[in-house]
A and B are shown apart, each in its own frame.
Chain A
Amino acid sequence: MMDIAILLKPRWWAIANRRLNKRHTVQMLVLSSVGLVFWIVGYAISLRVLTHFQKAQDIGDLLAFKLLSIILITVFSLMIFSTILTSLSKLYLSRDLLLAHALPVPADHLFFARWIESTIDSAWMVILFTLPILLAYGRIYSAGPFYYVNMILVLSALCIIASAISALVVQASVWLAPASRLQSLFVILGFAAFIVLYIAFRLSRPERLVDPETFSSVLYYMEHLRAPSSRFLPSAWCYQSLRDALLSRPTGAMLNTGMAWSFAIFLTCINLLAAGPLYFKGYSRSQTASFTIFQTRDPLMNRLFAKHHSPFRGLFIKEVLCFFRDQTQWSQLFLIGALIIIYVYNYSVLPLEKAPIQTAYLQNLLSFLNMALAGFVLTAVTARFAFPAVSSEGPAFWIIRSSPASIKSYLWIKFFIYLLPMFILAEILIVATNLMLNVTPWMMALSVITIALLTPAILAMGIGLGAAYPDFNLENPAQAVTSFGGMTFMMLSSAVIGAVVILEAGPVYRLFMAGIRKLTLSPLQKIWLTCSFTLVVLICVMTVILSMRYGIQKLENRY
């Protein structure tokens, strides 16, 4: 077992050797503060929701435990998906594996060391952000120390089980699938995740839980809340354990925690047994050339601007080809596609007619809020695709640096490459949801124009900050968004969206009410309206200019 500890050492040494200069200290402090804020907000919201549930006589506990069950099953699913991707990368794709496999260490020991790293890497964040919710449960139910100790044990077992299942799936997949298609596994996983996510979401029909009228009787509603999830799911054992601990039933809690841990140990042993004969063979297979789904000899794009050789054409074709040939990008596209479908679908099932407020007012209010939500969706998509655009050059960035194209034109070319797809996505989101809400034509026009202004602003922040905080050594450039720069981008983007929505909110409300009451706006209101919209345009334009300038300066001064 000594060799496993030795294999894990470089990772800890690298963390310990990380030199904290002033800049890194500031970054760490900002990141920790943001994390702490999220943590406190999560805790406060959980407390509030649970307190609200407690006020509902008879069904308060049922609702609270149903929520706990949903949370645990979500955490378990997230962990499985996350650990599949992490373990595939850690066990088969990491650059340092070449050195690791050359060491005089048995393959199963190497597997175990990498698996431990993979489990910790994918579990820490899930645990960290589940804790405030579980702590809130502890406070509401006045739980004793037993609950908190049990909570840690249960969460650890859940993470180990999820990671062990993923490692088994990955080992089997790499063994079964031809090695050259290893990367294609990501596509299959992404697609599977999309289908599972969508079906699970629709089958759970979450809207019914807050609308007892849809159930034929109160008894049926309560039965629905009481219905346990499958007994064979590890998340169900964890749920039972936490529930028993909250209700001061230590024997039941310990039994379920014991079940979870025995299963975790069993799966770990199975993994180790499988790793002996399978792991190195799978790794060897992954060393052959990878398979590409789309490979054209004379792609259509090469005929684009064929007569005019320019850096724009070169970078455009390179970006598109590299994107579509990288299957890891496809899985992300599927996931984003799924989230957008769910987003649009939610608007189609909104029970507007049951609302106590006037429908026209509510439709337009929702459409207004929808602009902000679409902005956040754009931020997420930009964070995933445009923010890592510079980091994705990786070690090949020397090609750009040594070429006769300035950093300024390079970054603006990147901006324009991403602008059109982002713009189309944003407008589809806004128009589709507004059509479902059946909003007034002027509200539709306002939404379309606002999102048209916000799209380049958000994109410029993504490209600019991505260039200011690049990481060319990442094995997966998508991870760049979890860095300090990524967090800064998301905060600034949210701030700009918030500023635009706040600036438009007042005048739009006045305009809308004037329309309903058939009144004309006063001169002061007209000035207010003009100033607000001018400021919105100014904010968006200045965001584009300043973000891009910042990115250009920082990237140029990097060398």
Chain B
Amino acid sequence: MISINNLTKKFGKTLAVDHVSLQIPPGEIFGFIGPNGAGKTTTIRMMAGLLYPSEGTVHICGIDMIQNPVQAKQRIGLVPDRPYLYEKLTGMEFLRFMGDMYQVNSADFTQKARDMLTQFSLLDRANELIEAYSHGMKQRLIMCAALIHDPDVIIVDEPMVGLDPRGIKMVRELFRLLAGDGRTVFMSTHTLKLAQEICDRIGIIHQGKLIATGTLSELEDQASMSGSDLESIFFQLTEPV
């Protein structure tokens, strides 16, 4: 579902992402962790078509992001780390806008939007301007918008930032539901406990390089730390030399 080969990004002389390769099948929740400035957001931006790679390719459901960005983007639902939205639209209007951009069937739209807003506890605030929303509400609205067109791949950068405990629980269950439905969830996070809890596999990126990938037990082997939790493995692998 997601195929990344030798993905590289240079900003001038800085090598932000260094030949990263990954294959993520349908129905998998993949956790992407790493210290600040490791290259997580840059990788996500290249995957979502927000940034051109200096080298390498990204395929979403077999579609090349560089060659066919429009078709590839149609299959993605993106939740960025910072909820920048059109503040002068209402929540419902923003969803309608996203529905238009992704050409969601108009017959289904209204019911679908109401269901999503209900699921994310936003229905009673749907006709208010987004500028009046809290950070967490904006984050929930972006999640609604990312799912409105039934994407095959969901790419999420820091999903839990700004969410209250109820929201975190709901998102955790939603990701499991989506994966169960055959969608791929690619999630970057600093919440190691969450990654350990819900991810099928985890990738650790450090200084632009993907230094470890696998299930928790595979990561234990790679770090030579059997019986350890993800936090200990993470510190061991990303320890400054």
A residues near B (Cβ < 8 Å) are: 289-290, 292, 295, 297, 302, 306-311, 313-315, 317-318, 321-322, 325-326, 394-396, 398-399, 401-406, 557, 559
Q: Which of B117-167 contact A (CB under 8 A)?
A: 127, 129, 131-132
Smallest CB-CB A-B distances: 9 pairs:
A314-B100, A395-B84, A289-B132, A404-B74, A325-B88, A404-B73, A403-B101, A322-B88, A396-B84
In addition to A315-B101, A399-B101, A406-B70, 9 A-B residue pairs with Cβ atoms within 8 Å of each other are: A310-B103, A314-B99, A314-B101, A317-B93, A317-B96, A395-B82, A396-B85, A396-B86, A404-B70
Complex CA gap A395/B50 in Å reads 13
Q: Are B88 and A326 in contact (CB under 8 A)?
A: yes
Q: Are A289 and B101 in contact (CB under 8 A)?
A: no
Contact of B96 among A302, A395, A405 (CB under 8 A): A302
Number of interface residues of B (CB under 8 A): 37
Residues of A within 8 A of B102 (CB): 403-404
B residues near A (Cβ < 8 Å) are: 48-52, 69-71, 73-74, 76, 78, 80, 82, 84-86, 88-90, 93, 96-106, 109, 127, 129, 131-132
Q: Are A309 and B109 in contact (CB under 8 A)?
A: yes
Complex CA gap A557/B66 in Å reads 12
Shortest beta-carbon distance from B186 to chain A in Å: 14
Complex CA gap A399/B93 in Å reads 14
Complex CA gap A311/B127 in Å reads 22
Q: Are B88 and A311 in contact (CB under 8 A)?
A: no
Count of chain A to chain B residue pairs whose CB atoms are closer than 8 Å in the complex:
97
Contact of A402 among B76, B103, B104, B127 (CB under 8 A): B76
Q: Are B73 and A403 in contact (CB under 8 A)?
A: yes
28 residue pairs bridging A and B, Cβ less than 8 Å apart: A292-B88, A295-B90, A302-B96, A309-B105, A309-B106, A309-B109, A310-B103, A311-B100, A311-B101, A314-B98, A315-B97, A317-B96, A317-B97, A317-B100, A318-B93, A321-B88, A325-B129, A395-B82, A395-B84, A398-B50, A398-B80, A399-B84, A399-B101, A401-B49, A401-B50, A402-B49, A403-B101, A559-B52
A289-B131, A322-B89, A325-B88 known; A402+B100 contact, CB < 8 A: no
Contact of A307 among B99, B103, B106 (CB under 8 A): B106
Q: Are B50 and A402 in contact (CB under 8 A)?
A: yes
Residues of B within 8 A of A396 (CB): 84-86
Q: Are B78 and A318 in contact (CB under 8 A)?
A: no
Residues of B within 8 A of A314 (CB): 96-101
Q: Which residue of A lies closest to B107 (CB)?
A: A307
Shortest beta-carbon distance from B8 to chain A in Å: 15
Complex CA gap A398/B109 in Å reads 23
Residues of B within 8 A of A307 (CB): 106
